[in-house]
A = this chain, B = another copy of it.
Amino acid sequence: MKTAVVLLSGGLDSTTCLAIARSQGFKVHALSIDYGQRHRIELERAARIASQLGVSSHRIVAIDLRTIGGSALTAAIDVPKSRSSDEMSHGIPITYVPARNTILLSIALGLAETVGAFDIFIGANVLDYSGYPDCRPEFLDAFARLANLATKVGIEGAGHFRVHAPLLKMTKAEIIREGVRLGVDYTTTISCYDPDPQGLACGECDSCQLRRKGFMEAGVLDPTSYAAGE
């Protein structure tokens, strides 16, 4: 059976990505990275999702990226709220974590080598996150090339690493429809950059806005629990 490592944040995208890997027949080792983000509730959700979707293992690797700073998700910078779609689509948002996907993929590569996997899945997407350099196809291809030079199994030619980003060119609505088709229960997933302590979504950050719009456009009832007033 083919084995894959799937990066699982506990959000809508990575959960759908995991469901896709499972639907393609992969035995999955899920990997969540606790990089000191504000939304720690994601990690609890990730564990539940991993179990719901029948993974072989789920690991959480803690790395404290607050030391290197630079992002509203890890440092003491306010998460922007209620931005227009025009504001969201220009430039690199302050929620960008320096070298985030490079770091996440590196750790996934370490795990892949340990469990004997050559396939790494990441829920990267170029449409919603056009401002993030490390969500682009050329970056993901370059990482796969690096992986084959970086590892014992890569240089010994036991296999060839592949980075799968099945959501790369899908709209949020397409991602949701695909997930629903595969039986994903989006109640468990959390997308908000700034949830309250109970895990209720703020409804106003970029990520919440993209998610709401996605459910609306997909014609699927949004199961998200929003904070009071929403």
A149 touches B154 (CB 8 A): no
A138 touches B149 (CB 8 A): yes
B102 touches A106 (CB 8 A): yes
Within the complex, what minimum Cβ distance (angstroms) separates A121 from chain B? 16
> How many chain-A residues does the 8 Å CB contact rule pick out?
44
CA distance A86 to B70 in the complex (A): 47
Within the complex, what minimum Cβ distance (angstroms) separates A29 from chain B? 10
- Using CB atoms, name the residue of chain B closest to A146: B142
A69 part of interface (Cβ distance < 8 Å)? yes
Query: How often does this chain occur in the complex, in copies?
Result: 2
Q: Which residues of B contact A70 (CB under 8 A)?
A: 110, 113-114
Q: Which residues of B contact A139 (CB under 8 A)?
A: 146, 149-150
Within the complex, what minimum Cβ distance (angstroms) separates A65 from chain B? 7
User: A61-B68, A142-B145 in contact; A98/B92 too (CB < 8 A)?
Assistant: no
A65 touches B61 (CB 8 A): yes
B151 touches A133 (CB 8 A): yes
* CB proximity to B under 8 Å, residues A56-101: 59-65, 67-70, 92, 96-101
CA distance A62 to B146 in the complex (A): 24
CA distance A68 to B151 in the complex (A): 15
